[in-house]
Amino acid sequence: GAVVSQHPSWVICKSGTSVKIECRSLDFQATTMFWYRQFPKQSLMLMATSNEGSKATYEQGVEKDKFLINHASLTLSTLTVTSAHPEDSSFYICSANGLAGTYNEQFFGPGTRLTVL
Amino acid sequence: GENVEQHPSTLSVQEGDSAVIKCTYSDSASNYFPWYKQELGKRPQLIIDIRSNVGEKKDQRIAVTLNKTAKHFSLHITETQPEDSAVYFCAAVNQGGKLIFGQGTELSVKP
Question: Helix/strand/coil (H, E, C) string of chain A?
Answer: CCCEEEECCEEEECCCCCEEEEEEECCCCCCEEEEEEECCCCCCEEEEEEECCCCCEECCCCCCCCEEEEEEECCEEEEEECCCCHHHCEEEEEEEECCCCCCCCCEECCCEEEEEC
In this predicted structure, the answer to whether residue A101 has a pLDDT above a threshold of 60 is: no
* Nearest-CB residue to B93 (from A42, A45, A103): A103
**Nearest residue, CB atoms, B100 vs list A46, A97, A103:** A46
Interface of B with A in 43-102 (CB under 8 A): 43-44, 46, 49, 89, 93, 95, 97-102
Q: Is the pLDDT of residue A1 over 80?
A: no
A interface mutation test: which of B21, B95, B98 has the most A CBs within 10 A? B98
pLDDT in tens, chain B (111 residues): 789 999 999 999 999 999 999 999 999 989 899 999 999 999 999 999 999 888 999 999 999 999 999 999 999 999 999 999 999 999 999 777 789 999 999 999 999
**Distance separating alpha carbons of residues A112 and A8, to the nearest angstrom:** 6
Measured distance CA(B111)–CA(A22) in Å, rounded: 40
Could you give the 3-state DSSP secondary structure of residue B95?
coil
Q: Which residue of A has its CA nearest to B30?
A: A103
B89, A97: Cβ pair inside 8 Å? no
Q: pLDDT category, A27, cuts 50, 70, 90?
A: confident
Interval A82-109 mean pLDDT: 84
Q: Which residues of A touch B (CB under 8 A)?
A: 32, 34, 42-46, 49, 91, 93, 95, 97, 103, 105-106, 108-111, 113
Residue A26 has pLDDT above 50, yes or no: yes
- For residue A25, the tally of other CB atoms under 10 A from its CB is 25
At a CB cut-off of 8 Å and minimum separation 6, what does B52 contact? B30, B31, B32, B33, B66, B68
Residues A92 and A111: beta-carbon distance below 8 Å: yes
Q: Which residue has the higher pLDDT, B2 or A25?
A: A25
At residue A100, the pLDDT reads 45
